[in-house]
Structure 1
Amino acid sequence: MAGRPQNSGFEASAITVLKRAVELDGKGRFTESLVCYQEGLNLLMEVLKVTTDDVKKQAFRTRIREYMDRAEKVKQHVEQEKEAGKYHEQIHIVADSTNNSYSRILGPFLDEFTTEVHVEDPYIRSAHQIYNFLRLCELLVGGKTKVKRISLTTGRDEQGNAQTQQGRLDELKRSLSDYGVTLDVNYSSTLHDREIRLNNGWIIKIGRGLDYFKNTGKFSIGFCDMDLRKCQETTVDIFHSKHTAQNR
């Protein structure tokens, strides 16, 4: 009896995550869907372990096999497109939508082979824009990656205070060095493109760059948790280039 509520909780969580996987799969957001398929399947496996009813166990095995088959097909599709140099995935972030943090958008493309990240964004200038870049750096340092070098190319804050901008980025550089990460900052007056390149081959181009979140008060929900903050409308295009990937 004591195991039933836990079992029910795992099953409900699995259903929610797998529905999300199917939804993302249908939208062509394959890398995100693979993450959800894996998480959902792990939860279903836990349910199967504690299920004693033979009929239910067989039903769970069937569902697990179906989801595993679909996940494998998605994985093969992604690998084939990557191998052919034709992979392209697009995410449309709707105005006022939430659950679009850097972790959700960029996380699926970060792995243990990610050691260098190159960011080109002309607007890492004002305080909130530098905070955005800081949040990205926190994701890179705190995740499963082994990032050792981050390079940023941006524009100087000519209309504000270039010295303040420099000081803030220098502070971030010192902080990252405590984690064994080198930050290189370069300035360009002609930079217009916005993209993030990972040395595992992924290239992420965000229409608005890192600054796609709406402003919120410092004591409002969403100020710290970016998944709770409303967004500006933008498009994210994801490509994979074998030419930028390291030999493994």
Structure 2
Amino acid sequence: MSRAGRDGTAALERAGAETVKRAVQLDVASRFQESLVCYQEGIDLLLQVPRQMRRKSTATGRRYPNGKYHKQIRIEENATGFGYEKLFHEYLTEIVSEVWVEDPYIRQLYNFLRFCEMLIKGPCKVKTIHLLTSYDEGIGRSQQMTALEEIKQSLSNYGVTLNIDFSSSIHDREIRFNNGWMIKIGRGLDYFKKPQGRFSIGYCDFDLRPCHETTVDIFHTKHTKKM
């Protein structure tokens, strides 16, 4: 975190502590209504401190004359607050009906499942998801296909078709929506660290899960190529 960021966090912490201190004084003086307002304001200020500390990322954006757009987000090691909903919601508009996921190393299939769940819950009306990946020799093709087929069947219950293709030559990782947005994540969908245990904070909520260091590049163009 930059010095300016640290100074801002410290200022929030001081302001919150002073406001809570003032609330206690008003409480002792039986000025309960004023005390309640100060308690609320002080707690709100203090709650902003961890949120600001979690935002360990930098983002830069640039729009080009030809209509193309590029934004880059750098996620630092162990940063939190970067669940799929937070990262993608801005680009999943209501007109999104088709999604392409190209990732040679879809190894944490629960992460891909979480991504699909986000698409179903979002404001978009996704009807088709295209997945292009490679075979996972680690767990075996049979186990990999069984898991993907289960995801495919589950998606069909929500009216979503999952098309699965395999390639041994793909290298790049990218996610495209048919509204023109393209997101490239250095580590693909598997940028989250493994939780410390099945009952540890962050196991279920990806916003609380620490991340690996990675870079996210976001583009927009009027034409999205097909796989």
TM-score band by shorter chain is 0.7 to 0.9
Residue 90 to residue 234, structure 1, CA distance change in 2 (3 Å): same
1:56-81 alpha-carbon deviations (Å, 9 max, x no partner)? xxxxxxxxxxxxxxxxxxxxxx8xx3
1:93 alignment partner in structure 2:
75
CA distance in 2, matches of 1:224, 1:29: 30
Question: Deviation of residue 157 (structure 1)?
Answer: 1.2
Residue in 1 that maps onto 2:14: none
Structure 1: segments with no counterpart, 5+ residues: 31-77
Shifted more, 93-102 versus 156-165: the winner is 156-165
User: Which residue number corresponds to residue 123 of structure 1?
Assistant: 105
State yes or no: 1:159 paired with 2:105: no
* Structure 1 residue 244, shift from structure 2 partner: 2.1
In structure 2, the CA distance between the partners of 1:83 and 1:168, relative to structure 1 (3 Å rule), is: farther
The answer to whether the 8 Å contact 2:83/2:206 transfers is: yes
Matched residue type, 2:165: N
Cα displacement (A) at 1:83 = 6.8
2:153 pairs with one of 174, 185, 205: 174
Aligned partner of residue 227 in structure 1, secondary structure: helix
C-alpha RMSD of matched pairs (Å): 3.1
Partners of 1:209 and 1:138 in 2: CA distance: 17
Partner SS for 2:188: coil
Cα distance in structure 1, aligned partners of 2:203 and 2:138 = 26
Q: Which amino acid aligns with 1:109?
A: Y
Q: Which residue in 2 is equivalent to 1:243?
A: 223
CA gap 1:187/1:88 in 2 versus in 1, 3 angstroms: same
Size of the alignment, in residue pairs? 186
Query: Where do residues 8-157 of structure 1 align in structure 2 (5 Å cutoff)?
Result: 28=59, 81=63, 84-125=66-107, 129-157=108-136
- The 5-angstrom pairing of residues 197-212 of structure 1 reads 197-212=176-191
> In 2 relative to 1, CA 83–137 (structure 1 residues): closer, same or farther, beyond 3 Å?
farther
- Letter in structure 2 aligned against 1:150: I
User: What secondary structure does 2:81 align onto?
Assistant: coil
Q: CA deviation at 1:28?
A: 4.6
Counterpart of 1:190 in structure 2 is: 169
TM-score using structure 1 length: 0.67
Partners of 2:141 and 2:176 in 1: CA distance: 26
1:122 aligned partner, one-letter code: P
Give structure 1 regions of 4+ aligned residues with deviation exceeding 6 angstroms.
none
Pick the structure with more helix per residue: 1
Cα–Cα, structure 1 residues 124 and 238, in superposed 2: closer, same or farther, change >3 Å?
same
Native 8 Å contact 2:59 2:74 kept in 1? no
**1:82 and 1:240 in contact (8 A); partners too:** no
Percent of pairs with identical residues: 53
For residues 22-67 of structure 1, give each alpha carbon's deviation from its aligned partner in whole angstroms, at most 9, with x where no partner exists.
x99xx5556xxxxxxxxxxxxxxxxxxxxxxxxxxxxxxxxxxxxx
**What TM-score results when the alignment is normalised by the length of structure 2?**
0.72
Q: Which amino acid aligns with 2:95?
A: F
Distance 1:117 1:182 in 2: 10
On the 8 A contact 1:94/1:233 being kept in 2, the answer is yes
Is contact 1:83-1:242 (8 Å) kept? no
> Is 2:68–2:222's contact at 8 Å kept on the other side of the alignment?
no
**How far 1:82 sits from its partner (Å)?**
6.9
Distance of 2:74 and 2:136 partners within structure 1: 29
